[in-house]
Chain A
Amino acid sequence: MNWRRIAIAAPYLWLLVFFLAPFAIVLKISLADPVFGQPPYTQSVSLDSFAFLFTDKIYVITYLRSVLMAASATFLCLLLGFPMAYGIARSRPATRSLLLMLIILPFWTSFLLRVYAWMGLLNNYGTINTFLLWAGVIDQPIPFMYTDFAVFVGLVYSYLPFMILPLYASLERMDLDLVEAAQDLGASRSRAFWDVTWPLARPGVVAGCLLVFIPAIGEYVIPYLLGGPESLLIGRVLFDEFFVNLDWPLASAVAIILLLLLVIPIVLLQRYQARDQEGVA
């Protein structure tokens, strides 16, 4: 059957050429040495770029900072997203669809402009400081902007919907009678939550956390616009090594290490999504 072969081959080839092959090129260039010229790398093979990444403390620290920042943003998204998803899943059907629409809506507006909105809120003459000064709570503006705090708020704000949607999907599917049964049998509310609700919601928790953590770790726009010179994250380092320092091998090496860090979470996410798809069928 020919058309079946075409339906598989066309997207397959596209992805092989434009998704998989590029990684091979990144790997190859990460093993070259930078030179001054066009293209700015040699054909030789060496591990110098990787060696440099691990000897210069700044890179190791930046990787760790990125992981830590992404992890803490993920945690706060979960802390805020779980009760929200729970509330949405347990509300009346008419309200529920409205609440859900309001979670999805920011998705469709520009990511860049949503980050930009926080610049107006957080800067020294911004809305928050103006309000606090007016209310007499402070008499000097608090420098929120260009700090780790601003980056953190930006991450939580931008990625919160990615946490809520999978959480909602698994909480909505859950049978409420199970919680009631547990309570009828004498379980306390917290016991019923940890023994019944939480295990049933776990696929959503895992999917939501990975959907926030993986893209957040390489985030470029948020640290650039809201962060200061000391809140360096690895996405920004990669971008600058490439465009500012023109060190293609080093930028490629940064990408390879970042990819290695993300292999396990990405495979985990795919496992969960595959199981989820099977569950629907």
Chain B
Amino acid sequence: MAEPLTDTAGAAGGPAFRLRRSVGRRVVTVLTVLVHRALLLAVLLAVVFAAVELLPGDAATATAERGESAAGIAGRRALLGLDRPVAERFADWMAGLPTGDLGTSARGEPVAGLLARPFPDTLLLGGLALLVTFLASLALGGWAALRPGGRTDRAVSGGATAVLALPEFVVAVALVLVFAQWLEWLPAVTLAGGDGGPESWRMLVLPVVALAVPQIGWNTRIVRAALADEARAPHVEAAVLDGLPGHRVLLRHVLPGALPAIAAGLATSTGMLLGGAVVVETVFNHPGLGTVLAGAVSDRDGPVIAGVVAVAGAVVTGVLLLADLVRARASGGRP
């Protein structure tokens, strides 16, 4: 990740001037980080648009009815605007994105409309999993870091390494077998309620845990490593020598310095959680983007996939932005 460019000039002058300078510096930091992340997202979208564009055939031929005449296909191509130059269509697509217009699917429906209902469900699943990941990895990583090299540390670190590479659907199947089939504690299938979302919160438990387990493994290792690094800092040693209790040293003196690394780890998990949510939804028949994406792949509906990538990319960008800001704050505006 790039270091956010910040104003490093020393503050001179009276207290009021210094205050104004520090506010200005913070605004500059936020803006720089924002522009940097927005540019990266724009590059990704260009790549995705190009990938969809390079497909042999296009949306008009992919959704053609059997025996449809060439003239009919050409007509639909004109209707969907596919006969215009690539650059023009890309510019149009990009210009529409900030206003929430994600383009038109191969069947002629607005992509934003297609995603409006399932996306919040997927986002809820991913968001809850991110929250669970954050809390569990902080607790486990902190527990392991209390006594580096001890029995707890080895058990937690080993367990984390073992689960971090598991595909989500494998975890999901194991959870279904144990908690739904054998213990019968939680439902194995999500039933849709009146509003199209899950009928009860109990149907969210297994999907969220299945999503979170591998990411808890990944982030526990990051939390533990970040805490152990920070624990070697001189100011922490001073706090220990002052006789402060262990948990106070951990929360007040070690954790603040370790936060940027922890935030960056969680940000990398966001994309995994969003993608994993699509897979886990399939296991539980959970309403969400999974169904839309499966349909889009079989219809070869590029615009829908590009739209999903755009929205998911925006969400990941948002979380990365938060991680950037956590780091900028921790470094006190120093690069």
**A and B part of one assembly:** no
Residues of A participating in the B interface, judged by any CB pair closer than 8 Å = none
